Amino acid sequence: MRVSVLVIIAFVCLFLQVVALRKLSIGEISPDFALLLCSFFALYKGTIRGSLIGFVVGLFQDLFNPAFLGLNALTKTLIGYAFGHVGAKTVPERTLFLSAVFFLAALGHDFVYLIFFTALDMGNFIKMLFNVAIPSAVYTAVAGIVLHKLMLFINARMVRSVGQES
């Protein structure tokens, strides 16, 4: 897959993140579609592509928050690399496995992000971890499973329609 295709996918994902988050947010809690994209790529395409899409998507997200420029790029690159290794050693089609992966990816991302965001103010870190990061990780995992099932359904319909035209 070419870099230009990854950039286009990243733009679409970020557009959906900006547009859909207003409708899907519950207070400060919202799913991270950019992280889901990074996790999907990492699980199915490996460490290099997972890291690359993580960096590109994270950097685009950072452009909207220049005070922490590079932080999303760093965390999503780390998630892409780590879960690329996980995908290479497992079968990522199982729902329970995928929900655990998405939960751990979101929690790991937010954990690293909060270390820098709170400047190691432990009171603020713990408060944000339990009030925002963990519920958002659960929400991201549920959204990831729904998107995965939707992609499987669309893929199955496309395969069936191609088989019927023959």
Token pair 């290099």 is found at 48
Of 75-79, 94-98, 111-115, least confident by mean pLDDT is 94-98
Calpha distance 153→137 (Å, rounded) = 24
Domains of the chain: 3-161 (1.10.1760)
Per residue in 56-95, pLDDT (tens digit) is: 888 888 888 888 889 999 999 999 999 888 876 776 677 8
Residue 5 has pLDDT above 70, yes or no: no
Query: Distance (Å, rounded) from C-alpha 117 to C-alpha 70?
Result: 12
* CA dist 104 → 13, 36, 61 (Å): 20, 11, 20
Q: What is the pTM of this model?
A: 0.81
Query: Residue 12 has which token pair?
Result: 């679409």
In the chain, count of helices (H) and strands (E)?
7, 0
* Interval 128-162: pLDDT, tens: 999 999 999 999 999 889 888 887 787 667 666 66
* Predicted pLDDT at 162: 63
pLDDT reported for residue 107: 95
